[in-house]
Amino acid sequence: MSVDGWNTVLVLGGIRSGKSEFAESLVADAPVVRYVATAPEGDPEDTEWATRLATHRARRPGSWTTEETAGEPRRLADVLASAEPNETLLVDDLGGWVTVLLDPEHQPADDVATIAELAEAIRACAARVVLVSPEVGLSLVPTTPLGRAFADALGTANRAVADACDAVVLVVAGQPTWLKPAAAATSTPAAPATGRHAVAAAVSRNAPASATPSLDDTEPTPEVQLPEVLTHTPPAAPSPEPGNPWAAPTMALPMVATGLVIQPGMELPMPDEYAGPQAVDRLATLDVPGAGLGVLDRVVGFAAATQGTSTPSAWGSVRVLLLNGDHAGSASAGTVAGESARRAAQARAGRGALARLAAEAGASLQVVDTPAAAPMETQPALTGEQVESALRYGWRLAEQAADAGVQLLVLGACGAGTEAAAAAVLAATAGAEPPSVLGRVITDSGEIDDAAWMVRCAAVRDALHRTRRSPRSAKDVLAELGGGDVAVATGVLLGATARRVPVLLDGPVGLAAGMISRDLAGQARHWCLLADHGRHPAVRLAADVLGLEPLLDLRLDLGEGANALVALPMLRSVLALAAALPVHPSLGGDADPDGADEPEPDHTDDEPAYTGPDYTDPEFVEPEPAGPGPTRTGVDEQPASGWRAG
């Protein structure tokens, strides 16, 4: 759901303002949506009203379900109270609900009490809810008693619902203006709020990019030192050329102590929306003998958009971030104790699949130790303070890479229990069933451990049951279910987005971080590329929700990060080829760019001319051989005599 972590949103707007379409766009990427229709059917002879209703119904996708509450206005509060945490509700609209509320059939009734019940149901709702309502406060005071009663009741309802919702947006002429949270409307520093209403300090979408971070008034905590960057085979660092798109200004945000506050609604950069399509169109003009690059043309489009040029260059400086953080409890069932620490030490020493592939690719490697997560089935994986620290830590890692000239980040992980944590995050953010997104457990001997898989499924199920009434904001999900590695990975994605550095994702942790980051800054997913899903169910589902289509289907399972490094040379070759090939001659390109049509240079004294027989002369006769041997006939064979090398 693209509402940047807010559980409840009120969309206001006038007649024909586009408020319903905007509300529908907020839930467009939710896997399941329940549409709550509040308006009565109306007079059967009112064709104009019937046409409006038909237009609304036609816009709804077939996967949505519809629930009518027009018969009883109090039922709307019951629907919200009974909604499950993994559901998404779209209520359209409160104007119809107030109309039914004022209907004589439902009078006498305490309208104020009914509105208060609705507001309380919104505050306590476990699902994500978008409500639509007409804004009538800007029009003239109605001249009829019934009109005044409707305007008064709807105004009271809008105020109560706006107070109960996490966010409020006003749509005017199709253009949304976020009214709440309003903390970013000014540059006054404010301490970050906590809990369900933490979005009261969030950044509004119409705030300038420079106002995205705010400074914390609390005492700064000491920064954790960033890990060493390892380069087992130093890559040749390309020197920046004038006009290099990678030298374009990036979004360097304040990083003094704990000054950065990462919160929903951050306005981060988007890739160039024109360069990508232009680069793909250019591929159709290149001088290639076949049909072209196939699905790999998406690599060129992605690189062009993130570099801001229609002729992107192959990524030169690449850095691999290997996140090492274990998840305690049943999430790591079937994992050998100490295995993740061994893998991390192996990578630091330049051994193992990941380090060797990084060396082959000329990529630097940074092994990052993340906070260990508590058993999610019994308690929160992290505290709120740990989540904030992990997010800032990941952001600093991306900042460090950007400052070092890194042009592509590869995200990997090696902790125990990461797959179960990623499955829990997907279940909480996308409404997935844990067994459907939890991969099989493979032992060191290559066998499938179904017993361990069932233990992991039970851990995810118990964690979701424990948090069934908890908020589903990004930071709450990280604290309850995600753990340190997912939190650091989320910070990396956000920091890389701010600095315009693309990220190559690989595995459940990176995709789970992508799901979380879209609720903090929806722009982050546009800077991510997925080379291969490895047939992992969690990766496939998250990629589908995020709109990341895998480029390859190699079924690799070498560990998070290593799979992407296998594909990296191919992706680089595609970019290098696309940048080097000329335009086809039939489309105006040079017929022979290598200069084959140029006249041959005159021979010099150092280059003696050929003085042998002229085999093109029709009267030329091959001389007889001087001694025994095969007789040569024709001009396709080398003559036995009468020539010397020129």
The closest alpha carbon to 263, from 478, 519, 2, 480, belongs to 519
Provide the H-helix boundaries in 364-507.
Answer: 384-403, 418-430, 434-437, 450-466, 474-477, 484-498
Residues 88, 57 contacting (CB under 8 angstroms)? no
What torsion do the CA atoms of 523, 528, 532, 534 make, to the nearest 10 degrees?
-70
Residues 472, 7 contacting (CB under 8 angstroms)? yes
- Give me the phi and psi of 315, to 5 degrees please: -65, 120
571, 572, 619 from 313: Cα distances, Å: 11, 8, 58
Q: What is the DSSP string of 426-437?
A: HHHHH---HHHH
Residue identified by tokens 């933490």 is 198
A 10 A CB-CB count for 537 gives 19
Cα(101)–Cα(92) distance, integer angstroms = 15
- Give me the phi and psi of 37, to 5 degrees please: -95, 125
339 is catalytic: no
Instruction: Give me the sheet containing 65-68, strands edge to edge.
Output: 65-68, 34-37, 88-92, 128-134, 8-13, 167-172, 175-180
Q: Which one of the listed residues 84, 399, 560, 598 is annotated catalytic?
A: 560
Q: In sequence order, which residues have a C-beta less than 8 Å from that of residue 573 and are 6 or more positions away?
A: 314
Cα(506)–Cα(409) distance, integer angstroms = 11
Q: Is 247 exposed, middle or buried (0-12, 13-18, 19+ CB in 10 A)?
A: exposed
Strand partners, 10: 131, 168
Cα(576)–Cα(502) distance, integer angstroms = 17
Q: Which residues are catalytic?
A: 560
